């Protein structure tokens, strides 16, 4: 079975990528100065050495605009029929951030909406965009993953602060042929709401607001049950990645590049080991420099890797992610010869 051939209508083909991280890098030692942790613990348990944090006042929409401008420039276009923004940290609870991002990109009038699947948001957005293209609803779609994840962290929580960072990545998809390089294979997506408590912001939504209870400040921060999330992440990511490989007709040993959501270096290693993806350059990684950037993680990794020549035209590429919800997703593509621009 060949990737994408069973979709009706045109395939979604990557025609340009862009990404950015805010300038300020925060090292482990800086965190260890006020949290009960250490550079050694963070590196050993997560593979993270530093992450980027926005300056006060910079929003997710700001990062999304920068990444999207670079992706449009890389694709050599100024127009898109739709803007799909994956994020956990929208500029406001209401309305969605995508319409404002679209207008700032000069795209007023196009379909624009947010997709919310935490760290799987970009893959959910990619699948939605590919479906819009296959259905003839759009010829070209901008898919963005952007986060100011540090804005929802409890500054005193050593189990989340060292892990998460800010950033954005974007891809331009155009209608094309399923057999050409850059054509996204079927995007496999899944969820298990029975595990919704593993990753959450307890307060601020309708469940708390309609209860009449005033939530303590602590309940407005992001909370994660790390070790249970770890276990589910390894199992679900491995399973969905395996399914994507089967659909593509690829053996794991034939994968040139594995672009996994950068949740934790140990999770990525465990998944790649279980799949049988060779170690070393086959396993793309930027977690040491950017940490876990949630919805931005996959497009940031793809863009940085392609820009650095670590992901090249013709590479058989496997993409997989896992996030809150819980949610998961995977797809495959043969990497295209297109520009990737970083800021």
Catalytic positions: 119, 261, 292
Q: Does 231 bind ligand UT7 (CB under 6 A)?
A: no
x/- site string to ligand UT7, residues 257 to 296, per CB under 6 A?
Answer: ------xx--x------------------------x----
Q: Give the interface segment with ligand UT7, choosing from 40-48, 101-109, 145-153, 168-176 (CB under 6 A).
A: 40-48
List CB contacts of 53: < 8 A, sequence separation 6 or more: 22, 24, 26, 150, 165, 166
Phi, psi of 338 (to 5 degrees): -135, 155
Q: What is the C-alpha to C-alpha distance for residues 11 and 183, in angstroms, rounded to an integer?
A: 6
Q: Does 41 bind ligand UT7 (CB under 6 A)?
A: yes
Q: Does 233 bind ligand UT7 (CB under 6 A)?
A: yes
Comparing CA positions, the residue from 295, 246, 291 lying closest to residue 268 is 291
Q: Does 45 bind ligand UT7 (CB under 6 A)?
A: yes
Comparing CA positions, the residue from 335, 252, 330 lying closest to residue 298 is 330
DSSP 308: T
Q: Give the interface segment with ligand UT7, choosing from 42-50, 139-147, 245-253, 305-313 (CB under 6 A).
A: 42-50
Comparing CA positions, the residue from 263, 229, 259, 262 lying closest to residue 244 is 259
- Residue selected from 7, 80, 82, 119 as contacting ligand UT7 according to rule CB under 6 A: 119
Largest CA distance in the chain: 57
Q: Does 87 bind ligand UT7 (CB under 6 A)?
A: no
- Residue selected from 60, 89, 229, 293 as contacting ligand UT7 according to rule CB under 6 A: 229
Instruction: Give me the residues that bind ligand UT7 (CB under 6 A), please.
Output: 37, 41-42, 45-46, 119, 158-159, 162-163, 226-227, 229-230, 233, 263-264, 267, 292, 322-323
């Amino acid at each position: 079975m060949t990737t994408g051939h069973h979709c009706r209508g045109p395939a979604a083909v990557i025609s340009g990528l862009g990404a950015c991280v805010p300038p300020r890098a925060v090292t482990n030692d800086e965190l260890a100065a006020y949290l009960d942790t250490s550079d050694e613990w963070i590196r050993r348990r997560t593979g993270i050495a530093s992450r980027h944090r926005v300056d006060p006042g910079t929003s997710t929409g700001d990062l999304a605009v920068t990444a999207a401008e670079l992706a449009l420039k890389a694709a050599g276009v100024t127009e898109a029929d739709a803007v799909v923004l994956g994020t956990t940290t929208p500029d406001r609870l209401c309305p969605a951030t995508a319409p404002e991002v679209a207008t700032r990109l000069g795209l007023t009038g196009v379909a624009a909406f947010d997709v919310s699947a935490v760290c799987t948001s970009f893959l959910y957005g990619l699948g939605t965009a590919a479906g819009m293209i296959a259905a003839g609803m759009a010829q070209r779609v901008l898919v963005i993953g952007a986060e100011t994840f540090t804005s929802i962290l409890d500054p005193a929580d050593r189990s989340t602060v060292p892990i998460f960072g800010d950033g954005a990545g974007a891809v331009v998809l155009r209608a094309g042929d399923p057999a050409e390089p850059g054509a996204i294979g079927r995007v496999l997506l899944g969820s298990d709401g029975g595990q919704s408590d593993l990753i959450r912001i307890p307060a601020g939504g309708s469940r708390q607001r309609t209860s009449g209870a005033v939530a303590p400040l602590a309940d407005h921060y992001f909370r994660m049950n790390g070790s249970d999330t770890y276990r589910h992440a390894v199992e679900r990511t491995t399973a969905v990645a395996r399914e994507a490989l089967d659909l593509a007709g690829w053996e794991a040993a034939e994968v040139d590049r594995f672009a996994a959501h950068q949740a934790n270096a140990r999770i990525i290693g465990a998944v790649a080991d279980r799949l049988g993806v060779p170690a070393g350059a086959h396993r793309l990684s930027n977690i040491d420099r950017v940490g876990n950037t949630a919805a931005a993680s996959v497009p940031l990794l793809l863009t940085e890797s392609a820009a650095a020549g670590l992901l090249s035209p013709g590479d058989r590429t496997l993409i997989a992610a896992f996030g809150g919800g819980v949610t998961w997703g995977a797809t495959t593509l043969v990497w295209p010869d297109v520009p990737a621009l970083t800021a």
